[in-house]
Amino acid sequence: MEQNNIVWHVTHITKEERSRLKKQKACILWFTGLSGSGKSTLANALEAKLYTLGIHTYLLDGDNIRHGLNRDLGFSEADRVENIRRIGEVAKLFVDSGTIVLSAFISPFIKDREQVRELVESHEFIEVFVDTPLEVCENRDPKGLYKKARLGEIKNFTGIDSPYEKPCTPEIHLINDKANINDNVDKILDYLTKNGYIYA
């Protein structure tokens, strides 16, 4: 089907109305950092806390998405770009539903994260940089991936033979090598409350 034969269908209920129904302001919390930095662990802990506060959320995790939506993608640079593009489009749909979506992906390239930011309104993308030194991530190595990468069994592995481009001005910057997870959850909650995304 040619693109010019596709017309956007306008729905009666707006994003703002869906958000008001949920008593929150929709946004994307985009957790980025090296493998083993603690992105998924932190996002899970935050979602659990938001649940107790009655906040409507959904967590998108890198490995989980590759089991379904992105199962056809590998780990070449082109496939990783497409992986993030698809995730961005899914996250945008969640924002349109009035939901706070938590996205935990390495997303190593600045231009790809900025591409997702541009999909939504300026206040709807919150970059959360989970800043953990490579040596700490490699010592943790919860999935044994760094060991495989060092042995040459995994190619294009972020931090080893593929670069990670740190965020320049993330909305939330968390140092996560020695921090208490509850302290970092509280920092994010504080940001969400002060900026009117949730009402504590």
Locate 89 and state its tokens: 């489009």
Q: Distance between alpha carbon 67 and the CA centroid of its chain, in Å?
A: 17
Q: What is the CATH number of the domain that holds 64?
A: 3.40.50.300
Cβ contact 113:84 at 8 Å: yes
> Please, which residues bridge with residue 59 across strands?
102
Residues taking part in catalysis = 107
pLDDT for the residue 35 = 93
Asked if residue 169 belongs to a domain, the reply is yes
pLDDT for the residue 8 = 61
Dump the DSSP string for 100-118: EEEEE-----HHHHHHHHT
How many folded domains does the chain comprise?
1
Asked if residue 200 belongs to a domain, the reply is no
Asked if residue 146 belongs to a domain, the reply is yes
Asked if residue 199 belongs to a domain, the reply is no
CA dihedral (186, 190, 192, 193) in degrees, to 10, reads 130
Q: Rounded to 5 degrees, what are φ and ψ at 175?
A: -85, 120
At which residue do the structure tokens 């190595």 appear?
141
Distance from C-alpha of 80 to C-alpha of 70, rounded to nearest angstrom: 10
Cβ contact 22:130 at 8 Å: no
Distance from C-alpha of 113 to C-alpha of 81, rounded to nearest angstrom: 10
Question: Comparing C-alpha atoms, which of 197, 192, 131, 187 is closest to residue 164?
Answer: 131
pLDDT for the residue 82 = 87
User: Residue 178 is part of which domain span?
Assistant: 3-194
Would strands 125-131 and 27-32 be described as parallel, antiparallel, or unpaired?
parallel
What are the 10-residue block averages of pLDDT along the chain, 200 residues in total?
A: 63 85 95 94 97 96 75 80 89 95 93 95 96 93 90 89 93 90 96 91
Asked if residue 49 belongs to a domain, the reply is yes
pLDDT for the residue 2 = 62
